[in-house]
Amino acid sequence: MDRKETEKEKMISSKLYFSGDAELTQDRLNAKEICYDFNLLRPSLREERANLIKKLFGKTGKDICIESPFHCDYGYNIEVGNGFYTNHGCCFLDVAPIKIGENCMFGPNVGLYCAGHPIDVATRNSYLEYGYPITIGDNVWIGGNVTVLPGVTIGDNTIIGGGSVVTKSIPSNCIAVGNPCRVLREITEEDKNKYKQENPK
């Protein structure tokens, strides 16, 4: 006889799941307890802060910095690469996997929201939910107050302008802004030279 799929397994695989499940309820509480401890630690306690994030996240790279306050649902569905930085007030609803590449920078109050709720009110009120993964490539810069919605992929080297609501996937090597977020232009060779410091005389 086949083993019955757990609500946690359904959640991570983007199936409709019961959010009131006892295991998931405890997992959320565990994550909130770690976030609470992390958000109360003094900024100078860098090692202690780093250890809590390693305990919370599923995978962490080297040289990452999470400014407090930070909030998430489960933590174990979050994977970040080397050189990740997120400013104050970010919130990741990681009911599905969130994968963030190398050398990514987030402004304050960035929200990555994998979670979704059924349109039908009776289904929604029965604590059934779903979630779709969010994937962010390498060298991505996301401006302050950006919201990224379920199922979105953002390609390598892309910049998302502040205040944008990203409802659909955005390709690599571009600047995208707006609500809904749209590609403004590609990043060009000219951009590489824009901020070069002049040689001192």
pLDDT at 2: 77
In a domain, 193, yes or no: no
- The residue range of the domain holding 129 is 7-185
User: What percent of the chain stands above pLDDT 90?
Assistant: 92
Residue-wise pLDDT for 112-137, tens only, equals: 999 999 999 999 999 999 999 999 99
Q: How far is CA 38 from the centre of its chain?
A: 17
From 99, 117, 135, 167, the catalytic residue: 117
How many structural domains comprise the chain?
1
Confidence (pTM): 0.93
DSSP E strand boundaries for the chain: 17-18, 59-60, 65-66, 70-72, 78-80, 85-86, 90-93, 98-100, 105-106, 111-113, 115-116, 128-131, 134-136, 141-142, 147-148, 153-154, 159-160, 165-166, 174-177, 182-186
In a domain, 2, yes or no: no
Q: At what angle do helices 22-40 and 46-56 cross, to 10 degrees?
A: 170
In a domain, 198, yes or no: no
Token duo for residue 177: 């802004």
88 is catalytic: no
Residue-wise pLDDT for 71-114, tens only, equals: 999 999 999 999 999 999 999 999 999 999 999 999 999 999 99
CATH number for the domain harbouring residue 51: 2.160.10.10
